[in-house]
Amino acid sequence: MARIDVKKTYKLYIGGQFPRSESGRSYVVNDAKGALQANASQASRKDARDAVVAARKAFGGWSGRTAYNRGQVVYRIAEVLEGRRDQFVAELRASEGVAGAKANAAVDAAIDRLVWYAGWADKITQVVGTANPVAGPYFNISSPEPTGVVAVVAPRSPLLGLVSVVAPVITTGNTCVVIASEPHPLTAITLGEVMATSDLPGGVVNVLTGSVAEIAPWLASHMDVNGLDLTGVEDADLATSLEVAAADNLKRVRRAPAAEPDWLAVPGTDRMTDWLETKTVWHPIGI
């Protein structure tokens, strides 16, 4: 007897759970050859709202952990991703239509990227924090603090691009709401499964799939979002309107790049420092 296919349902990843969209909508995701790959949830503004609430709730605990511990958790994501590499290779081959070797290389790079950022977790403070010389009997110390909830529009590259924008946000102690690549959303949800089964607390990363033009404006104008990463916004007009909306509560904005960056290049620390704010403390000497 022929066996019935067990097709996977791709849902959202919010607060450590995998809910369907509140709106009940879904959209068709095609593979590289134009055939049906799966249906993905089409998130609404209310899903975005719920995701921000989850991210805000997770922020206190996550930012309060030691940097060393956050590094361990990000490394753990890399470990779990390594264990499920075959699944990701298969998904990348289907969705992007790339050859096995190229898909393998992308998964390798994504894992390495996580390890790279994990190493930075307890070192970024030494690099961008300072002890300032001041004209008085004080210790004067500047240290980087996480910004808060960051809304991220993920780039087209389904795995490496996604990891490259999410890892720096969470490594530095922020929590995030990610809108996955609109044409390639499935890998983002599978990565959500990886995060759910590593030691990452629920709500630190929340993944929405659906229309960027529909969801992003609600996140850009949301008064409880502190940062906005427009890396994946390809429409210049949309990017401009999002920046305008973000100005209302002075969100930190990382502007959309002119073209998709080369994700295989060594990233540098700017994606981390974008989501850090400098706190300076004066402390009297000699007491």
- Residues lying near another protein in the complex (CB under 8 A): 49, 52, 56, 218, 221-225, 245, 248
Local structure of residue 249 (DSSP, 8 states): G
Local structure of residue 136 (DSSP, 8 states): S
Shortest Å distance, C-beta 188 to another protein: 23
Cα distance between residue 45 and residue 96, in whole Å? 28
The answer to whether 242 and 54 have CB atoms below 8 angstroms apart is no
Considering beta carbons, is residue 109 or 220 the nearer one to another protein? Answer: 220
The answer to whether 260 and 161 have CB atoms below 8 angstroms apart is yes
Considering beta carbons, is residue 49 or 85 the nearer one to another protein? Answer: 49
Considering beta carbons, is residue 49 or 156 the nearer one to another protein? Answer: 49
At residue 50, φ and ψ (nearest 5 deg) are -60, -40
Which of 49, 55, 59 minimizes the C-alpha distance to 21? 49
Shortest Å distance, C-beta 227 to another protein: 13
Shortest Å distance, C-beta 222 to another protein: 4
Cα distance between residue 223 and residue 118, in whole Å? 30
Shortest Å distance, C-beta 174 to another protein: 15
Shortest Å distance, C-beta 18 to another protein: 22
Please enumerate in sequence order all residues whose Cβ is within 8 A of that of 97, keeping only pairs 6 or more positions apart, or say none.
31, 32, 33
Considering beta carbons, is residue 222 or 271 the nearer one to another protein? Answer: 222
The answer to whether 257 and 231 have CB atoms below 8 angstroms apart is yes
Shortest Å distance, C-beta 50 to another protein: 11
b vs e for 138-166, b when ≥16 Cβ sit within 10 Å of the residue's Cβ?
eebeebbebbbbbbbbbbebbbbbbbbbb
Cα distance between residue 92 and residue 81, in whole Å? 14
Shortest Å distance, C-beta 203 to another protein: 15
Cα distance between residue 26 and residue 36, in whole Å? 13
Considering beta carbons, is residue 41 or 226 the nearer one to another protein? Answer: 226
Tokens representing residue 160 in the block:
């490496």
Cα distance between residue 253 and residue 251, in whole Å? 6
Considering beta carbons, is residue 153 or 225 the nearer one to another protein? Answer: 225
Considering beta carbons, is residue 162 or 225 the nearer one to another protein? Answer: 225
